[in-house]
Amino acid sequence: MTVHFAAARTPARSPLARALSRRGHGVAANDNDGGARLTDDRLLYAALRHFAEHGLSAARMARVQAETAFFAGERESYDWWLGICSTLDKRLANSLAAAVSGGKAS
């Protein structure tokens, strides 16, 4: 008995031909700010240590530290803790920055 092969699809429309002809994506979808702002290594290390100590509440703890430093008038400490908070949770840090610039932190 003879077996004849008849392809179900044309070579131009085969899944393999489509996969091989695809081009790579131009820009990664997960880029933050297009790479314009790079995190300082010391700040990243401190944020990771803070996360290791406090777990999922680390961003909230950093925000509390930043608020405390802000109201104590310690600008350098405020910037440091705001940077840690921003590294862990950018939205939480932005809400803190907006709150303190308006004169009310909550």
Q: What pTM was estimated for this model as a whole? A: 0.60
pLDDT digits (tens, 9 = 90+) for 50-70: 999 999 999 999 999 999 999
Q: Which H or E element spans position 95?
A: helix 90-101
Q: Is 105 helix (H, G, I), strand (E, B) or coil?
A: coil
Domain layout of the chain by residue ranges: 41-106
Is 47:87 a contact under the CB 8 Å cutoff?
yes
pLDDT digits (tens, 9 = 90+) for 71-81: 999 999 999 99
Tokens, residue 51: 């996360």
Largest CA distance in the chain: 91
Please compute, for residue 55, the number of CA atoms within 13 A of its CA located in the half-sphere on the CB side: 0
